[in-house]
Structure 1
Amino acid sequence: MALLVLHLVFFTLAFRAFAESARRDVLVLADGDFDYLATEHETMLVQFYAPWCGHCKKLAPEFEKAARKLKGTVQLAKVDCTASTELCVRFGVTGYPTLKVFRSGRDAGPYDGPRSAEGMVTVMMKQSGPDSVLLQSKSDLDQFVDQYEASIVGLFAAGSTRQAEFLKAAALLREQFRFSHSSDLSLGQDFNCSAECVLLFRPPRLNNKFEESFAVFTEFLTITSLRRFIRDNIFGLVPHMTLENSERLRVKDLLTVYYDLDYVHNIRGSNYWRNRVMMVASQFRGRGLSFSVANRRDFEAELQQEFGLSPDPGLPVATIRTRLGLKYTMREEFTRDGRSLLRFLEDYFSGRLKPFIKSEPIPEKNLGPVKEVVADSFSQLVGDPHTDVLLMFYSPLCPTCRRLQPVYEQLATELSSEPQVVVARMNAVDNDIPLGYDVQGFPTIYLCAVGRKEDPVRYEGPRELKDLLKFVRREATHSLRGKDTRNEL
């Protein structure tokens, strides 16, 4: 027993020491010491927070983990805005947590990158050092380009005004991309660049026979035009989609092939399947669909929840997600010759594919005053051309939804004598939300009126019975006739 107690004491002290070490990795700053302590660090990421803030509490362990990994390279710090109000007002903090990058004590702008430890480390490593690295030889160029991420290289004559604009862009975009520059124009000779230009080198691990490994920018150089050039060329025909860049890739209609992709330990195996995707994708250039490959483990939960897929570890799976939110899955087994993927794309462009819709089972009985709607029954119940439908989107875990439910059921009971008015609700977590409905929080209520089903009206008023009744009477196509309803109104 005594030995057990000693072990418990030892582990408790060890844990406390570890936690204390983590806290020391994150510098604590306040009104009185910020200016002189911040100037001691070339690059610093500062979190402005409030102790009561839930998002701040969620960020804290990731922030501490990132601080440990960045120790000695980039300093991480935090400021309690409930105790250091002057500092937070000075830097324009209006919400929590707010993250900002500082250089030698000067505010260099907001941090807009991922908030996972790994994401913060990746972004802040790019923030350390100069905005753009000076290259002085072919060896410098080769070394700079031979990295995991893409590289942007500016070649300019000494004193060039284009170089000044390039360096401004590098300062603005350094969180996202790696920049370097040189006045040795001969460095561009092997890359179709004999005068001033900007070269974009895609990551060496993605080199393939279907496209050049670089792109050349020779247009009039502004921050806007360079940003557009990088955006349009950096990923190539079939980029590697990660948790960090997925939002940027998904601004377009996107096909993604998921498999055991690992560019750290298995470059050859990762490119085996990517090359087969490249072979097919090259036949559909300019058709309005982008392509990517991804590690299935990174997106496993999404594949299961959003596409109903449980990926086979041995074979890739393919999905298409459009900007409008339509989703398609390739149900045929992925073949090594690429023909199954080719057929999937031909069916997509010919309009033969049926979108995948995530839905709960249609209820066998739906006799309650509030009708249950699922994605597979949406068109039948909500799209009914003869009934006005009041529809609430909710989450089973939402406390506000649970508080509203008795009022909503009472509303349905009040309107039960109105045969052409239906009160319904839909679980928006386990069912796909149809197009035309903007659901950013719960509960969200719409009235889908007869003759205007394509233009539902969102309810923005108080969540009281009398107010909901007024809304239905005002927006419904059919007049409400019930005696009880008129009395409420």
Structure 2
Amino acid sequence: MIWVQTALFAAFLAVASASGAVLEYTDGNFEDLIQTHDIALVKFYAPWCGHCKRIAPEYEKAAPKLASNDPPVALIKVDCTTEKTVCDKFGVKGFPTLKIFRNGVPAQDYDGPRDADGIVKFMRGQSGPSSKELKSVADFDKFTGGDENVVVGFFDGESKLKDSYLKVADTERDRFAFAHTSNKEVLKKAGYTDDVVVFVPKKLHNKFDSNEFKYDGNYDTDKIKNFLVHETVGLAGIRTQGNLFQFEHKPIVVVYYNVDYVKDPKGSNYWRNRVLKVAQNYKRKVQFAVSNKEEFSQEIEQNGLGERKDSDKPIVAVLTNEGKFPMDQEFSIDNLQQFVDEVLAGNAEPYMKSEPIPDEQGDVKVAVGKNFKELILDSDKDVLIEFYAPWCGHCKTLAPKYEELAEKLNKEDVIIAKMDATANDVPPLFEVRGFPTLFWLPKNSKSNPIPYNGGREVKDFVNFISKHSTDGLKGFTRDGKKKKSKNAEL
């Protein structure tokens, strides 16, 4: 009887898995059922966990796409507040913990994206060979008939391009879906022989872009990668959290609205076609993209569009190396084109998150978004600037030493400055990925900030500044030793 119940439950789960649902396993069935999947992603979670709540809807959205993958990838969840045996067995200590299982055995921790699109791409890259062989026209039609861009290599025999293509597939399988074929019927139908082609899903076809992007380079692997990353999204690609690596070039115009090609393909295309109409006028000059407002709600705030995020029409930000430019006008084809022209001509004002400019300044100068250019970039002095976060322990440890340094050098031709990088926009010139991050800016070369990676004691800073100051310091020699006063010499 127990065996029958287990079999019936397994059958039920198989149906659920085929339908694309996230499977929920327990202490009682995990060990048996995990072995039924060639590959699976398991999320160990706690219902009260905030990060778990955020990933839950993305996990649900990814499940049906991965269930229809070839081979299928199962998405499974385990509630560690009730299923303690399983969670203890696999060493779960924080939530959510995600692990990839192959044939019932934990293979590796999941370290990929946490959005639906990113989960799908990453897990597709983990399943099966890096490039699927298409052995028939039916295989080809199925592979290219999905809802995402796919890459196909067409090879009439062996070639250097094929060798390079398969190497690229091995390294980029987490980012793109690859296949290859030498089948004569497929080659004839597609019209390619020794080529690499990216096929666009039917739902994204439009009159402004090609439905296929053909690689025109040689067998250089870096050139193939560059083609896939930068030349296959079209005039206004669908920009998601999972493919941001394809939208790094600036200037870029990002149009935010309710992009959803599953629930509202007609509405998604309605606005995208208007963006495409403008984008065609800026080929190779400006990149355009459309993004879902909800998915990029935080970015919308950062780009100065928070007050307009509830608009029924799309909202727009142009991102350049000079800053972020939110469009204030209501969206229309004419307004979008006019705004892009204004930004490119330098006639638009960039948005900058900023604290108020301090009424008074001490030895350590406080830079904010609104005074950064005047205080730091336009000054006629060398500058050492620290980007910090108020909550950062290392920053708190540095603070008294930084104050001492500034007091010691307050008569010198150098500015010791700091900026709260959580309350102000960091200018694009600076790459700040952790705290504290410090840069040295020589007064005659402010456009080339030099990362400071030296020691963080006062004497370390003094030695560095003495050596690198443009005109030398009045009170210190180039090797950081304090100069003797004339009275002392007498």
- TM above 0.5, yes or no, is yes
Name the count of aligned residue pairs: 424
| Equivalent residue runs for 1:22-171 within 5 Å | 42-43=38-39, 73=73, 113-115=112-114, 119-157=118-156, 166-171=165-170
C-alpha deviation, 1:325, in angstroms: 6.1
* Secondary structure at 1:119 match in 2: helix
Please, which of 344, 351, 359 is the counterpart of residue 356 of structure 1? 351
**Aligned to 1:433, which of 411, 426, 430?**
426
Q: Within 2, Cα distance between the matches of 1:118 and 1:22?
A: 30
Q: How does 1:137-216 map to 2 (within 5 A)?
A: 137-157=136-156, 166-187=165-186, 193=191, 195-216=193-214
Taking the aligned partners of 1:220 and 1:479, their CA distance within structure 2 comes to 55
Alignment of 1:275-314 (within 5 A): 275-287=273-285, 289-310=286-307, 311-314=309-312
Q: Distance in 1 between matches of 2:312 and 2:253?
A: 20
Shift of 1:46: 11
2:359 equivalent to 1:370: no
**How far is 1:108 from its partner?**
11
CA distance in 1, matches of 2:138, 2:349: 53
Name the aligned partner's letter for residue 244 of structure 1: G
1:447-484: CA deviation from partner (whole Å, max 9, x where unpaired): 445445445555434333344344444444363459xx
Show CA shifts across 1:296-346 (max 9, x none): 111111121244543233111122223x463222222211xx001111122
- Read off the aligned partner of 1:358 and give its amino acid letter: K
Q: 1:430 deviation in Å?
A: 2.1
Deviation at 1:149, TM superposition (A): 0.8
% identical equivalent positions: 33
- Secondary structure at the aligned position of 1:423 is classed as strand
TM-score, structure 2 length as denominator?
0.70
Q: For the structure 1 residues 313 and 420, does the alpha-carbon distance in structure 2 shift closer, same or farther, using more than 3 Å as the test?
A: same
Unpaired stretches in structure 1, ≥5 consecutive residues: 1-17, 28-36, 48-56, 78-97
CA displacement 1:42-67 (0-9 Å, x = unmatched): 557799xxxxxxxxx989x979x979
Number of the residue aligned with 1:264:
262
* Contact 1:369 1:409 survives alignment (8 Å): yes
Give a deviation string over 1:249-276, Cα, whole Å, max 9, x none: 1145321111111111000000111000
Q: Which amino acid aligns with 2:26?
A: S
Letter in 1 for 2:458: L
Change beyond 3 A, Cα 1:314–1:449: same
* Deviation at residue 367 of structure 1 after TM alignment: 4.0
Provide the C-alpha distance between the structure 1 equivalents of 2:215 and 2:442, rounded to a whole number of angstroms. Answer: 53
Summarize deviations over 1:72-121 as a string: whole Å, max 9, x none.
836999xxxxxxxxxxxxxxxxxxxx999897899999987425576334
**1:196–1:218: 8 Å Cα contact kept in structure 2?**
no
Structure 2 CA distance for aligned equivalents of residues 407 and 189 of structure 1: 72
Choose which of 224, 247, 250 in structure 1 pairs with 2:248: 250
User: Which residue identity does 1:433 align to in structure 2?
Assistant: V
Unaligned runs of 5+ in 2: 1-22, 44-49, 78-96, 486-490
Q: Provide, for residues 120-141 of structure 1, a one-character-per-residue CA deviation record: whole Å limited to 9, x for no partner.
A: 3442134323444444554443
Change (3 A) 1:339 1:190: farther
Given that residues 160 and 219 in structure 2 are in contact (C-alpha distance below 8 angstroms), is that contact kept between their aligned partners in structure 1?
no
Amino acid aligned to 1:258:
Y
- Cα 1:377–1:19 change in 2 (3 A) is same
Shift of 1:171: 4.0
TM-score normalised per structure 1: 0.70
